[in-house]
């Protein structure tokens, strides 16, 4: 009987590698090993790459009815059976071996995984040898996920927030490079901590919101203290507007990327004021 194993789940392994790339980058690691691992084991035409594609196909597609969702899942399972299982197992084994060479496995697998239940359901269906009860359970876990729901675009996150989480996490490396290029400086310790918290708690909005609100309170307070020492009335008014905007963020129930950027700039502003004010 198939039993889930996150060590053999290609969808989970890939997500953890992508997350590791981001964490390594934010920690200042040059040429993160996870990038090389992804390039080697998930390059075009590898069996692992094909299997990952099937995981992502299930998680990214939406259908309007239960019957269509079931038909879709059946079609993906047929495609999975075409994969060479011995090659797949060998590549998975070598992948874990390579991860173990570069990272402490306990720490690597301790990271929070998005869509854990769905990834586990896909793995068990792919592996087969399920009791009828288990087969129905895992299949309907996925059916409920892929049945399309109407989305109110005004209430949804911006386009970047809606992207597949794996792609969004990986793109943080690009985000950091753009930030450095735009502002002409590297991320500070506080900025790195904020981004790490954002990355590691993408699906834990409660914890992320608590952290962000704490940082907003601290940043607004520090800016208010420094503003009192500014003589220029125009600058002082603008600083007060920044403080007001930061505090308004706490009124929104959602966590938006622009809020993260606002706090990142708030950190910068504090540093700049400290350098100017004696």
- Model pLDDT for residues 19-34, shown as the tens digit of each residue: 888 778 767 777 889 9
- d(CA 19, CA 109) in angstroms, rounded, equals 11
pLDDT category, 152, cuts 50, 70, 90? very low
pLDDT > 70: percent of the chain: 82
pLDDT greater than 90 at residue 257: no
Q: What is the pLDDT, as a whole number, of residue 157?
A: 41
User: For 19-33, 35-49, 110-124, 209-223, which range has the lowest pLDDT when averaged over its residues?
Assistant: 19-33
Q: What is the pLDDT, as a whole number, of residue 32?
A: 86
- d(CA 66, CA 233) in angstroms, rounded, equals 63
Q: What is the pLDDT, as a whole number, of residue 278?
A: 60
Mean pLDDT value across residues 254-266: 81
Q: What pTM does this model have?
A: 0.61
Taking a C-beta distance cutoff of 8 angstroms, is the pair 50, 83 a contact?
Answer: yes
- The residue among 59 and 178 whose pLDDT is bigger is 59
pLDDT category, 186, cuts 50, 70, 90? low
For Cα atoms 128, 143, 164, give the angle at the middle one, nearest 5 degrees: 95
pLDDT category, 148, cuts 50, 70, 90? low
Within 13 Å and on the Cβ side, how many CA atoms surround 59?
23
What is the residue-averaged pLDDT of the chain? 82
The conformation of residue 186, written as its DSSP 8-state character, comes to: P
pLDDT greater than 70 at residue 272: yes
Contacts of 89-92 spanning 24+ positions with Cβ under 8 A: 91/41, 91/46, 91/47, 91/48, 92/8, 92/10, 92/13, 92/48
Q: What is the pLDDT, as a whole number, of residue 221?
A: 93
Cα distances (angstroms) measured from residue 151 to each of 144, 154, 155, 244: 16, 9, 8, 31
pLDDT category, 271, cuts 50, 70, 90? confident
pLDDT greater than 60 at residue 227: yes
Q: What is the pLDDT, as a whole number, of residue 180?
A: 57
- The residue among 53 and 180 whose pLDDT is bigger is 53
Taking a C-beta distance cutoff of 8 angstroms, is the pair 230, 277 a contact?
Answer: yes
Mean pLDDT value across residues 4-33: 85
pLDDT greater than 80 at residue 185: no
Mean pLDDT value across residues 161-175: 48
Q: What is the pLDDT, as a whole number, of residue 55?
A: 94
pLDDT greater than 50 at residue 260: yes
Phi/psi at 231 (nearest 5 deg)? -85, -35
């Amino acid at each position: 009987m198939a039993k889930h194993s996150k060590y053999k789940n290609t969808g989970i392994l890939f997500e953890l590698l992508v997350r590791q790339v981001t964490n390594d980058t934010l920690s200042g690691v040059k040429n993160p090993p996870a990038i090389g691992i992804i390039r080697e084991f998930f390059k075009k035409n590898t069996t692992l790459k094909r299997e990952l594609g099937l995981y992502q196909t299930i998680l990214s597609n939406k259908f309007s009815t239960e019957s269509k969702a079931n038909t879709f899942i059946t079609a993906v399972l047929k495609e999975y059976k075409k994969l060479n299982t011995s090659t797949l197992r060998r590549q998975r084994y070598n992948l874990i071996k390579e991860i173990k060479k570069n990272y402490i496995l306990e720490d690597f697998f301790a990271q929070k995984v998005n869509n854990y239940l769905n990834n586990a359901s896909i793995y068990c269906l792919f592996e087969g040898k399920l009791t009828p009860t288990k087969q129905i359970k895992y299949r309907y876990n996925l059916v409920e996920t892929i049945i399309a729901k109407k989305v109110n675009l005004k209430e949804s996150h911006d386009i970047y927030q809606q992207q597949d989480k794996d792609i969004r996490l990986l793109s943080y490396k690009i985000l950091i490079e753009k930030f450095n290029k735009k502002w002409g400086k590297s991320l500070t310790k506080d900025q790195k901590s904020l981004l790490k918290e954002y990355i590691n708690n993408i699906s834990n909005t409660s914890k992320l919101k608590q952290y962000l609100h704490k940082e907003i309170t601290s940043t607004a307070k520090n800016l208010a203290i420094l503003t009192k020492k500014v003589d220029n009335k125009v600058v002082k008014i603008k600083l007060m507007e920044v403080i007001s905007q930061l505090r308004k963020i706490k009124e929104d129930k959602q966590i938006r990327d622009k809020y993260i950027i606002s706090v990142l700039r708030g950190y910068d502003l504090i540093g700049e004021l400290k350098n100017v004010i004696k």
